[in-house]
Structure 1
C-alpha cells in the first residue's frame, strides 16, 4: 500500500530531509581537513598608521628612520621614510620585518635564539637578523611585521616600533 502525503506536509518533509542530510555532511566535514582557511589581513590604513607612528616616535627622539610594514607573507604593505633618513634604511627595515615573518618572533629574539646562524642568515636575500623588527598580532594571529631602521641601534628602532604598536593597540584588539 502506497502512502500519500497531503500537499501541505510535503514542504515540511523536504525541510526535514535537508536538515538530516546536512547533519550527516557536517559530521563528515568535521573529520576532513579544510579546503579553505580564513586568514586575517592587516588593512592598508592600519599598516600606514603603524609605519607613521613608528617614524614619528623616532623623530620625537631625534632619529630619522624608515618604517616598513609587511603582511604575513612578507609582502610590503606600507613604507615610510622620514625626510632625512638615508635611503638604505628602507631596505634594512624591510629585511628586519622579513626576519620576523621567517622566524615568527621579534627580530631581537630571533637573533638571540639563533646566534649560531645569524651571520649566515644575514646572507639570505631579503633577511637581516638585527634588532628593530616586531610582530604585528591580533587575536593570536600573526598579521605581519614592522621593521624600523635608522636610529643609532636596533634597540632604539625596536622602541619606536613598539611605541607605535602600543599607541594602536586598541585597533589591533578590535580585530579579534
Structure 2
C-alpha cells in the first residue's frame, strides 16, 4: 500500500508541476510606464524645447505603440502631432532610436525601403524608453528645426524620469 501511495503522490506532484508550467505559458508579465511618469517625461521634453526656443509636439507611447501622452505647444505645425507619434512608434517597432535608424540607412546597413512602410518615420527625435533590457515605450518629439534638436528634447524627457526607471 505504501508503494501505491508514493506512486500516487509522485504522479499528482508531476501533474501539479506540469499544470503550473502550462499556466505560466498562457500568461505574460510585463512592465509599462504609468501615465504619470509618461506625462512627466513629455513635460520635461516640452520644457527643454521651449527653453531652446522651439514649439513642438511630444508623444509618449507604451510598449505596444499606443499613445499614453500627447502634448502640443500652441504654435506647433500641423504635421507635428502625427510625426511625433510616428517617431516614437518607429523607435518601438525597430527597438532603436530613430537617429540610429537614419544612420543605418545612410551607411547601407538598413534597407532604405523600410522608410516607405506605413507609420515608419526615419527622422531623428524618437527615442526608446527602456531599462535593464526591458522596453517600456518610446518618446517622440517633432517641430524643432531638425531631428537632432528634437532628439535633444526627447532625451531631456527620458533624463527627467531616469531615476524612476531603475528597478
Scaled by the length of structure 2, the TM-score of the pair is 0.83
* Alignment partner of 1:159 is 2:159: no
3-state secondary structure, aligned to 1:122: helix
Question: What RMSD in Å do the two structures reach over aligned CA positions?
Answer: 2.7
The correspondence for 2:39, drawn from 31, 48, 51, is: 48
Aligned to 2:58: 67
Deviation at 1:73, TM superposition (A): 1.2
Are the counterparts in 2 of residues 74 and 101 from structure 1 also a CA contact under 8 Å?
A: yes
Choose 107-116 or 93-102, whichever is displaced more.
Answer: 107-116
Scaled by the length of structure 1, the TM-score of the pair is 0.79
Indicate the structure (1 or 2) with the bigger Cα radius of gyration. Answer: 1
Structure 1 residue ranges, 4+ long, deviating more than 3 angstroms after superposition: 20-33
Higher relative contact order (CA 8 A, sep 6+): 2
Stretches of structure 2 lacking an aligned partner (at least 5 in a row): 3-8
Whole-Å Cα distance in 2 between the matches of residues 138 and 21 of structure 1? 40
The correspondence for 1:148, drawn from 121, 141, 146, is: 141
Cα distance change on mapping 1:82 and 1:22 into 2, 3 Å? farther
* Alignment partner of 1:91 is 2:82: yes
Match runs of 1:101-120 below 5 Å: 101-115=92-106, 116=108, 117-118=111-112, 120=113
3-state secondary structure, aligned to 2:137: strand
Tell me the matched-pair count.
159
